[in-house]
């Protein structure tokens, strides 16, 4: 590829060091492909890697480390550290293992941290990166849902910047005029509707994990693919938007848009509606976040509107997709209910993927876990309380899954 001559501002942005938390997942792999593309276009020294972390895929992590030469590679499951050490012997790359080592990796000096871990497990490392004032390219949504207040307060007390990578939030971020916050009437997140958009409830009662992870427009990790099929993903995203953009529930809306070309819309007081469009490819929001506030060449296909022909929109069906309504109710209820919602959903999705419960049981388990919470904890503003509420909800949800599986 021919070397581009970037503006000096972009050249400077691309000297920032990058840590990728969750480098072996769908977003992690896409992030490294954007880095490779940047190096092909702007020079081999673009976006040097500080640390790579993964949970259990030690082979892929070691191969990535050999290729991208980070200072450190970290495996979450500490029992796999000897294997990682062996695979990286002689490279000079530091190795470490265990959840605390992932937090320590987030705490290293990289100016940019891609948070691509799945689930609320991303919370401790994400908070560490926020506290030391990094720029977070934030793909993970569960940490924001589980700990909204804590996340917002920690961010407010730091020099950190969050650039959302979740496609809808990245799209809204690009359309939002932050100094006109008072004039924002509404942010509308689009949803593809998932693989079961036009299925009857009866038919959906029977769906298998294979059917649920086969998303029509996006290729993603298993957990978010199931969330997209239940529309819990969109519910989590409404809560994520509430936290990231400081907007009340009344100003957040969801619309089903099966072509996944428009990712979000922002409506202003004067009646203007700004939309963000791109091909459904996560490498576009990733490239935006890694170059921000500059723009770099991205590897994704460009959207061909003439080939697409038409864009359609329809209201979501909250009866066939009760998870969306559950999440919206948790946003309105506030307090610890989003923490419980997220924890119960993580447990239920995992049980569904293991074929222990049925598709609609996901919503049943989440609803029953919310109903069962007899705690007197109304707010969770510190990490220990968030983790305690999360752990109790997980235990309740696991018990419910066991009963349903029996
Ligand atoms: P994935 O399952 O493909 O990858 C998850 C990564 O996190 C892997 O590298 C894995 O090793 C690591 N990981 C898993 N459990 C961990 C733990 N307990 N501690 C530390 N690391 C752990 O997931 P994904 O699809 O890449 O999604 C990652 C995050 O980005 C999710 O929060 C998801 O909602 C969000 N997101 C993903 C997409 C997408 O297109 N995949 C789009 C928008 C948002
Ligand atoms: Mg999304």
- Position 87 pLDDT exceeds 70: yes
Is 28 touching ligand 1 by the criterion CB < 6 Å? yes
Nearest CA to ligand 1 atom 41: 220
Determine the residue of 20, 213, 221 to mutate for testing ligand 1's pocket, defined as the one with the most ligand atoms within 8 A of the Cβ atom.
221
- Please compute the mean of the pLDDT values over residues 80-101 and round it to a whole number: 98
More confident residue, 7 or 153: 153
Strands 18-21 and 112-115: parallel
Q: Count CB neighbours of 378 within 10 A.
A: 9
Q: Which domains does the chain have, with CATH numbers?
A: 8-164 (3.40.50.720), 167-279+301-329 (no CATH), 334-406 (1.10.1740.10)
Give the model's confidence band at 379: pLDDT under 50 very low, under 70 low, under 90 confident, else very high: confident
Q: What is the pLDDT of residue 3?
A: 59
Give the closest residue to 49 by CA, choosing from 26, 74, 25, 85.
74
Q: Which helix (H) or strand (E) holds 74?
A: strand 72-75
Other beta carbons within 10 angstroms of residue 225's beta carbon come to: 22
- Nearest residue (by CA) to ligand 1, atom 9, is 22
Average pLDDT, integer, range 228-252: 98
> 210-222 pLDDT, tens per residue?
999 998 888 899 9
Q: What percent of the chain is modeled with pLDDT above 70? A: 98
Confidence of residue 400 (pLDDT cuts 50, 70, 90): very high
Question: Please, what sign has the CA dihedral across residues 356, 360, 366, 370?
Answer: negative
- At 377, is the secondary structure helix, strand, or coil? coil
Strand-pair category, 49-54 with 18-21: parallel
- Ligand 1 neighbourhood includes 116 CB (under 6 angstroms): yes
pLDDT at 319 over 60: yes
Encode pLDDT of 332-351 as tens digits: 999 999 999 999 999 999 99
Mean pLDDT for the chain? Answer: 96
Q: Is it the case that residue 2 has pLDDT exceeding 60? A: no
- Residue 45 per-residue DSSP state: T
* pLDDT of 290 above 80: yes
d(CA 162, CA 155): 8
Q: Which residues of 229-267 are buried (b: 16+ CB within 10 A; e: fewer)?
A: bbbbbbbbbbbbbbbbbebebebbbbbbbbbbbbbbbbb
User: pLDDT tens across 62-77, in order?
Assistant: 999 999 999 999 999 9
Give 83: exposed, middle or buried? Use CB within 10 Å, 0-12, 13-18, 19+: middle
Q: CA separation (Å) from 7 to 4, 10, 43?
A: 9, 5, 13
120 CB within 6 A, ligand 1: no
pTM: 0.97
pLDDT for the residue 4 = 65
Ligand 1 atom with minimal separation from the 220 CA: 41
Q: How far is CA 117 from the centre of its chain?
A: 8
Q: Are 284 and 298 in contact (CB under 8 A)?
A: yes
Tell whether ligand 1 has an atom less than 6 A from the beta carbon of residue 102: yes
- pLDDT digits over 106-118, tens only? 999 999 999 999 9
Task: List the residue whose alpha carbon is closest to atom 36 of ligand 1.
Answer: 139
H or E element at residue 275: strand 273-277
274 touches 171 (CB < 8 A)? no
Residue 1 has pLDDT above 60, yes or no: no
What ligand 1 atom has the least distance to the C-alpha of 223?
Answer: 2
């Amino acid at each position: 590829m021919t070397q581009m001559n970037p503006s000096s501002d972009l050249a400077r942005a691309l000297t920032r060091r990058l840590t990728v938390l969750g480098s072996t997942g769908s977003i992690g792999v896409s992030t490294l492909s954007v880095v490779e593309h940047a190096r092909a276009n702007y020079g081999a020294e673009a976006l040097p890697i500080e640390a790579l972390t993964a949970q259990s895929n030690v082979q892929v992590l070691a191969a990535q480390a050999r290729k991208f030469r980070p200072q450190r590679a970290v495996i979450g499951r500490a029992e796999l550290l000897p294997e990682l050490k062996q695979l990286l012997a002689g490279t000079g790359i530091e190795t470490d293992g265990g959840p605390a080592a992932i937090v320590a990796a987030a705490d290293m000096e990289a100016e940019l941290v891609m948070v691509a871990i799945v689930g609320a497990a991303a919370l401790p490392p994400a908070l560490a990166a926020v506290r030391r004032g990094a720029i977070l390219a934030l793909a993970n949504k569960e940490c924001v849902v589980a700990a909204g207040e804590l996340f917002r307060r920690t961010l407010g007390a730091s020099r950190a910047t969050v650039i959302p990578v979740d496609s809808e939030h990245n799209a809204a971020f690009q359309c939002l005029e932050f100094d006109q916050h008072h004039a924002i009437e509404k942010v509308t997140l689009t949803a593809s509707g998932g693989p079961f958009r036009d299925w009857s409830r009866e038919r959906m009662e029977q769906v298998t994990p294979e059917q649920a992870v086969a998303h029509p427009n996006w290729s993603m990790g298993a957990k978010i693919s199931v969330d997209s099929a239940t529309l819990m993903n969109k519910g989590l995203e409404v809560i994520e938007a509430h936290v990231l953009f400081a907007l009340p529930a009344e100003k957040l809306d969801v619309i089903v848009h099966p072509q996944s070309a428009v990712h979000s819309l922002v409506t202003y007081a004067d009646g203007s509606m700004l939309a963000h469009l791109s091909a459904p490819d996560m490498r576009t929001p990733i490239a935006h976040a890694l170059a921000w506030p500059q723009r770099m060449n991205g590897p994704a296909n460009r959207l061909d509107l003439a080939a697409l022909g038409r864009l359609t929109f329809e209201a979501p069906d909250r009866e066939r997709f009760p998870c969306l309504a559950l999440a919206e109710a948790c946003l309105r209820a506030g307090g610890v209910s989003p923490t419980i919602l997220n924890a119960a959903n993580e447990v239920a999705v995992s049980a569904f993927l293991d074929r222990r419960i049925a598709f609609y049981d996901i919503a049943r388990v989440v609803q029953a876990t919310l109903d069962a919470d007899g705690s007197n904890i109304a707010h969770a503003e510190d990490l220990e309380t968030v983790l305690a509420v999360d752990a109790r909800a997980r235990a309740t949800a696991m018990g419910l899954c066991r009963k349903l599986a029996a």
